Structure 1
């Protein structure tokens, strides 16, 4: 997306990676196990962590995404490709990833050319290809945290996410062991020994640790804001069964038919968490207008949309009052680990320190602080009472 408004809150999601060219797309498609010919570049998808393009090929439209190896590698991509295949086999409409030829070789600027199943590495980049998803891309221009247009869409979104969580059962791939800058995990802020966990987490992420030191951040002191929620969440969350989650269920990552999602895509933030985490993310992404809130409108939340999402989810997977209490306690810290983790991406991947500052000052601190203010408290009360 482009930040046509000039709002610094939206500059964080403006595309910065070089566009995929038609010639580049043609090269990638020629390396598939079943090669395709690129005929026409249809649309570009501006994403802050990758470059994406829809291509008309000789056998239909396909979507190509390119990550820089500084962001992620094939080992971190293939587990979520497997998750997508698992969901598709269990009736969730989502485009699966196409395999590349097994006998690739050669080299490109930055390194060799090689493929592992559905991930292709060429020099300093890794590619994935999937068919076009089915449905109406009505939210293609939606901004981060924009809500669905109708309560009916919100209710159907909740029901879809519950069905997807049920379909996720049985996919037992472990989460990638090595940290990378592009993950959405919930675990650090659900840990009983929180201080020890944070210190160990930072030791595994020296780029984040060094950024905090170089900018004179006082993380352990600043996290006093989060501790009240961690203390409530750590016990009950730890008792939940783990499963793979989408991690970014914003309306723009769905295609639609009528008032129902017809397909889900963009699993780049998928990881092993719990089913309840994806419900929390659905609420955070679609019912709290954080861009407006951080610009001074504290009441920019959508309680009716949140109630509808929960109502739809509850119709498929019943939610107890204790479930909703846990959802309410998770919401203020559901993005806190990701906010800290993405510092490494903005320091190493884009070399824009102002964006790393956004991760800390706005996403980590500002978003959580809102939940302690009167508007945030009213929102959380609405969540607890939703069912």
Structure 2
């Protein structure tokens, strides 16, 4: 299977031609040659529709493998090693995560040409959401509750992983702007480290809308975030990054590509922001129809069911919701402008994602949602 006619999720609801071509049989064989204990390839049985990399499910006589290719400017071998170290820590702590395979030299990633490759054994659980866009709500509130419980368990397992924050690279949900005493100065530093992002913003009046967002939503937030224990977190917690057990629980957590050192409140806010809103329908549905309060409530209830939950963590997560997406949105802009060269996607990431999501929270519907969620969480 060579991936002819392969399509991937775009920035909206439609499937699009991939930025990164599907992995071929010959390409997969060349990568697997670096893994001497892996059985020969039978077939490439599936190609992922996720847009920021290429991935394929490989059938072998010794079970299925997942091969993932990143462009070397998105992930280097060292960049993948950082997240693989986190995965290994979580596995040691008892969390079900992918088994990352290693080469004969002990490396967890391989660089070939312009690609950086990682190879996993297929993990337990059903991939119920694999053909759904990332911003797809849960199929049920039971799934939301189970995902909240699994998120809390992952945070418990993450304790003691003391690696520093990742270096600046595209498509990582870093945590430098919102905890800063002066978020605009932190923005300046973030932008200066990313020339493509700086070039894009230099043609726009970006300071005024960002300063307004911080003035409205970040008041008193930085001291709260400083009080939160620093923790490596997933930062992309949505249904299609989870494999599901027959009883509706989470069987495996995967795709740690956005993982970095943030805090539990940041990760919980990200999980709510990723799953409780019909963002792909923003502008086509009334504002009040975008949010699903029950989904957010179920996710928080699931999180709380894993152990004692600090009211301060919940309040901090709720306060973070209007702004928690900002650093990843900036990272997407850097990716689309600097690596892909897609002007339309870059503009959509700026206007539709970064500003559009924040503006929804500033609307009457958004403020009402936050008030209702705060009231629900306090019961």
Which bracket does the TM-score occupy, shorter chain normalised?
over 0.9
TM-score by length of 1: 0.91
Superimposed CA distance per residue, residues 97-132 of structure 1 (whole angstroms, 9 cap, x where no aligned partner): 111122xxxxxxxxxxxxx61010012111000011
Q: Unpaired runs of 5+ in structure 2?
A: 1-5
The 1:309/1:200 distance shift into structure 2, 3 A limit, reads same
State the match for 1:376 in structure 2: 366
**C-alpha separation between the residues in 1 aligned to 2:275 and 2:197?**
28
- State the superposition RMSD in angstroms: 1.9
Of residues 306, 311, 315 in structure 2, which corresponds to 1:321? 311
Give 1:385 deviation, angstroms.
Answer: 2.1
State the match for 1:279 in structure 2: 268
Give 1:148 deviation, angstroms.
Answer: 1.2
- 2:81–2:109 CA contact under 8 A, matched in 1: yes
> Where do residues 74-223 of structure 1 align in structure 2 (5 Å cutoff)?
74-102=77-105, 117-177=107-167, 179-213=168-202, 216-223=203-210
TM-score by length of 2: 0.92
Aligned length: 369
State the match for 2:256 in structure 1: 267
Superimposed CA distance per residue, residues 33-58 of structure 1 (whole angstroms, 9 cap, x where no aligned partner): 52431111110002221100000123
- 1:311–1:386 CA contact under 8 A, matched in 2: no
**C-alpha separation between the residues in 2 aligned to 1:289 and 1:54?**
29
**C-alpha separation between the residues in 1 aligned to 2:189 and 2:128?**
43
The 1:232/1:174 distance shift into structure 2, 3 A limit, reads same
Give 1:364 deviation, angstroms.
Answer: 1.0
- More moved, 137-146 vs 236-245: 137-146
**C-alpha separation between the residues in 1 aligned to 2:257 and 2:36?**
23
SS of the residue aligned with 2:219?
Answer: helix
State the match for 1:60 in structure 2: 63
Q: Unpaired runs of 5+ in structure 1?
A: 103-115
1:226 aligns with 2:213: yes
- 1:68–1:126 CA contact under 8 A, matched in 2: yes
State the match for 1:109 in structure 2: none
- 1:30–1:36 CA contact under 8 A, matched in 2: no
**C-alpha separation between the residues in 1 aligned to 2:207 and 2:14?**
28
Give 1:60 deviation, angstroms.
Answer: 0.8
State the match for 1:48 in structure 2: 51
